[in-house]
Amino acid sequence: MATRIQDSAVVFKDRLIKARFQRTGREPHNENVLDRAYRIYQFIVRFKLAHDGIAPSYREILDECDLKSISNIRPYLAWIESGGFIRLMNYDRGIAVVGGRWTFGESLNVRKIESTDDRAN
């Protein structure tokens, strides 16, 4: 299981590097930027799972991921979106995770996420 998580982190970081290079012609200048982007993405997914599909607010992302200002969050989210992992919408908490589908479990109180993205395998 730990290997699969490490592999997904490598895939995530590689796709973000490619997205950044395509957009700006430069690669990220240090590994901490990639680690922080990955932590933000992981937090969004965990938060949505725990809160019935509702995305976190910018303030919640700020507090969880040790950013200093809310204005620092938007560039990370735009970068993660350009990598194809999330989709941003123009409303409060408008963050959709790409490659998953929310479904009801056996009970109405149980939720799970099923992968519909072939790249995750």
Give the mean model confidence (pLDDT) for residues 91-113.
63
**CA 92 to CA 68: how far, in whole Å?**
21
Enumerate the domain spans of the chain: 2-120
Tens digits of per-residue pLDDT, 35-76?
A: 899 999 999 999 988 888 889 999 999 999 888 899 989 989
Between these two residues, 81 and 1, which has the higher pLDDT value?
Answer: 81
Between these two residues, 117 and 68, which has the higher pLDDT value?
Answer: 68
pTM for the structure as a whole:
0.71
3-state secondary structure of 87: strand
Is the pLDDT reported for residue 116 higher than 60? no
Model pLDDT, residue 63: 92
Task: Determine how many CB atoms are found less than 10 A away from the CB of residue 40.
Answer: 22
Is the pLDDT reported for residue 119 higher than 60? no
Look at the domain 2-120 and name its fold.
Answer: Arc Repressor Mutant, subunit A (1.10.10)
Identity of the residue numbered 82: S
Q: What is the mean pLDDT of the chain?
A: 76
Model pLDDT, residue 66: 85
Contact 100/86 with Cβ under 8 angstroms?
Answer: no
Contact 19/34 with Cβ under 8 angstroms?
Answer: no
- Tell me the backbone φ, ψ of residue 110, rounded to 5 degrees: -105, 130
Burial of 48 (0-12, 13-18, 19+ CB in 10 A): buried
